[in-house]
Amino acid sequence: MNTQMLKKPDISFYKGQIITGKWHKKTYHVVRKLGSGAIGTVYLCVCNNVQVALKVSKQSHSITSEVNVLKVLKKVQGHRLGPSLIDVDDYVHRNGYVYSFYVMEYISGEPLSQFVNRHGEEWLYSLLVGFLKDLQALHNEGYIFGDLKMENLIVSRKPARLRWVDVGGTTLVGRSIKEYTEFYDRAYWQAGTRKADPGYDLFALAMVVLRIYYPQGFERGNNPKKTLMQKTSMAIKHTGIRQLINKMLNGEMIEADIVKNELIYYTMKQNRSRTQQVNTKQHTRHDSVVYPMMEVLSILSISGLCYLYVAIFM
């Protein structure tokens, strides 16, 4: 069996291809590839005029595992954790191999880092407040997200909301984390175990925040904990939030709700001091408006002189 699994080729769908499930006979039109990861590839498809995301992999057991997680999330959908599951089926390829796939709700949006760059830092924290509420709901169900990272987070619009798109790492509390990414992994930074507990997600979330300030990431160094402290103090100006992030990295934070409450407290405080900042900003804006106008005037006058010169002497 193992030998066969090894030889089983990777699968890729082309634009316009029609995928029909072996069991439920539903038909999906492939629109384009959305992305691929360690386990499989996700395609944007259309089924009955509805856009959906279809994930296919040669590792049937990984697909089944993820489906199990999505089913758990479905039970708490009152809260809309992650994408909802639409269909699970097999695709029989012409080569005779069977590839498992599942279909989920398509969440459109933009990457978190891009969103924060465009709308400003204060949005980061207000998105996190909502996200921490979701995380707490997931933890209450006895699950840990696991592979929490920038690439797995999307900001959907109207209203702006931070949502997770890949549930492959979701793990039962008390078990070993199924999937992780070094930069966001507590054990990699020697700050704790790789056992699934709420603190694991909160560590990863703190790393997501750091990643906003260091888009390229940074090296672990000889003393990982010290590296983290340094990077945090260099990036985050606000004392309260910096201390909160440090507590998440140190393992002092073990409940998403508490992080959420502290974050609300600090962002509200920050907003009060922000009104002054806005005033100073307006001054600079006046300056920046005056300078281009002077430039335009000088260009016009120079070209006017040239015109006169040409008209009179030529």
Partner 1 sequence: MRTGTLKQILLITDGCSNQGEDPASIARIIAEQGITVNVIGILEETQTEESQGLNEVEEIASNGQGVSQIVYKQALSQTVQAVTKQAMNETLQGVVNKELQQILGNTRSMDELPPEQRGEVMEVVDELGETCDLEVLVLVDTSASMTNKLPTVQEALIDLSISMNARIGRSRFSIYQFPGRRKPIHQLVDWTSKLESISSIFAKISTGGVTPTGPALKEAMHQFGKKSLKRRLFHNEYTDVEEA
Q: Which residues are catalytic?
A: 147
Q: Compare residues 4 and 288 and give the one whose CB is closer to partner 1.
A: 4
Distance in angstroms (rounded) separating the CA atoms of residues 146 and 142: 12
Output the smallest distance, CB 139 to partner 1, in A: 18
Q: Compare residues 47 and 129 and give the one whose CB is closer to partner 1.
A: 47
The residue from 47, 76, 150, 187 that contacts partner 1 (CB under 8 A) is 187
Distance in angstroms (rounded) separating the CA atoms of residues 50 and 216: 36
Distance in angstroms (rounded) separating the CA atoms of residues 30 and 11: 14
Distance in angstroms (rounded) separating the CA atoms of residues 81 and 130: 11
Site string for partner 1, 167-186 (x = CB under 8 A): -------xxxx----x----
**Dihedral (C-alpha) 62, 67, 73, 78: value to the nearest 10 degrees?**
160
- Is the CA virtual torsion 174, 177, 182, 183 positive or negative? negative
Q: Compare residues 45 and 88 and give the one whose CB is closer to partner 1.
A: 88
Output the smallest distance, CB 166 to partner 1, in A: 16
Site string for partner 1, 238-267 (x = CB under 8 A): ------------------------------
Stretch 133-152 residues interacting with partner 1 (CB under 8 A):
none
Distance in angstroms (rounded) separating the CA atoms of residues 267 and 247: 17
Distance in angstroms (rounded) separating the CA atoms of residues 250 and 229: 10
Q: How far is CA 67 from CA 92, 101, 122, 196, 208, in A?
A: 19, 9, 35, 19, 25
Q: How far is CA 260 from CA 160, 203, 253, in A?
A: 17, 14, 11
Asked if residue 23 binds partner 1 (CB under 8 A), the reply is: yes
Stretch 76-115 residues interacting with partner 1 (CB under 8 A):
88-90, 98, 100
Q: Compare residues 187 and 264 and give the one whose CB is closer to partner 1.
A: 187
Output the smallest distance, CB 186 to partner 1, in A: 10
Q: Compare residues 98 and 296 and give the one whose CB is closer to partner 1.
A: 98
Q: Compare residues 193 and 230 and give the one whose CB is closer to partner 1.
A: 193
**Dihedral (C-alpha) 275, 280, 281, 284: value to the nearest 10 degrees?**
170
Asked if residue 7 binds partner 1 (CB under 8 A), the reply is: yes
**Dihedral (C-alpha) 290, 292, 295, 297: value to the nearest 10 degrees?**
-70
The residue from 33, 37, 47, 65 that contacts partner 1 (CB under 8 A) is 65
Output the smallest distance, CB 134 to partner 1, in A: 24
**Angle, nearest 10°, between helix axes 239-250 and 256-313?**
130
Total residues at interface with partner 1 (CB under 8 A) = 31
Stretch 188-227 residues interacting with partner 1 (CB under 8 A):
188, 193-195
Judged by the rule CB under 8 A, the positions of this chain that interact with partner 1 are 1-3, 5-7, 23, 38, 59-61, 64-65, 67-68, 71, 88-90, 98, 100, 174-177, 182, 187-188, 193-195
